Chains A and B, each alone.
Chain A
Amino acid sequence: GENVEQHPSTLSVQEGDSAVIKCTYSDSASNYFPWYKQELGKRPQLIIDIRSNVGEKKDQRIAVTLNKTAKHFSLHITETQPEDSAVYFCAASIGGQNFVFGPGTRLSVLP
């Protein structure tokens, strides 16, 4: 079955710097890759996603890139702010089913 790895497990950056989180997946049939942000005590919130027919997608300070050949995708956050501090999860899915999540990255943005 699908396996999703995520690195790093923790990440600390200075406010205003960029943060990058990387995920790899094993099943080449996976074609939908969402990213979720989970703040302490809250539900995971979908922040951006990418489908396998696209190499990059951007939404304001957040971008996701996908390399299907290497089977990895990354989340990029620019100009980080304290409110970006949270746990971020990547996931891989085939046709919007069977979501497999990475173990999460705890991002801390230091003022």
Chain B
Amino acid sequence: KAGVTQTPRYLIKTRGQQVTLSCSPISGHRSVSWYQQTPGQGLQFLFEYFSETQRNKGNFPGRFSGRQFSNSRSEMNVSTLELGDSALYLCASSSALPGGEQYFGPGTRLTVT
């Protein structure tokens, strides 16, 4: 099976712009979670989508949003970018069975200037 894929891998944006990141889960996985990884804050949970519905949400401002399509692919959008949004954004997919293993994609490195 192919692993979790994310596009683009690298992105440079300017403050105030918006950005959309994409994640394709492992075939058959219906749950996609998004994380922000920064050197100082570790892995911070953004939100999780399951069957096109947001099932869980972390403590991030409303500028961070996401969605999931019927084929389980997910997108994450960040509006009005701030310098502090520079980070590695990781998505992870799981089968969503109780205790199902979660596997990460390679991440998108976002730099906001």
Contact = CB atoms under 8 A, between A and B. Distances in A.
Interface of A: 31-32, 34, 36, 42-46, 49, 51, 89, 93, 95-104
Nearest to A87: B42
Contacts of B96: 96-97
Contacts of A89: 42-43
A96 B106 contact: no
- The binding surface of chain A is classed by DSSP as strand
Contacts of A44: 43, 90, 104
Chain B CB count within 10 A is highest, among A46, A95, A97, A102, for A97
Report the contact-size class of chain B (Cβ under 8 Å from the partner): 20 to 34
Contacts, number: 55
B71 to A, nearest CB: 21
A46 B103 contact: yes
A45 B56 contact: no
B48 interface: yes
Kindly list the 4 A-B residue pairs having the minimum CB-CB distance in the complex, ordered from nearest.
A101-B43, A96-B100, A32-B99, A43-B104
B90 A101 contact: no
Contacts of B104: 36, 43-45
Given A42-B106, A99-B33, A100-B45, 10 more contacts: A34-B102, A36-B104, A44-B104, A46-B102, A89-B42, A93-B99, A96-B94, A96-B102, A98-B48, A99-B45
Contacts of A96: 31, 94, 96-100, 102
Contacts of A34: 101-102
B55 interface: yes
Contact of B106 (A31, A43, A51, A101): A43
Contacts of A43: 90, 104-107
6 contacts: A32-B99, A43-B105, A45-B104, A49-B101, A96-B97, A99-B92
A103 B44 CA distance: 9
A41 B100 CA distance: 25
Chain A CB count within 10 A is highest, among B43, B56, B99, B102, for B99
A100 B107 CA distance: 18
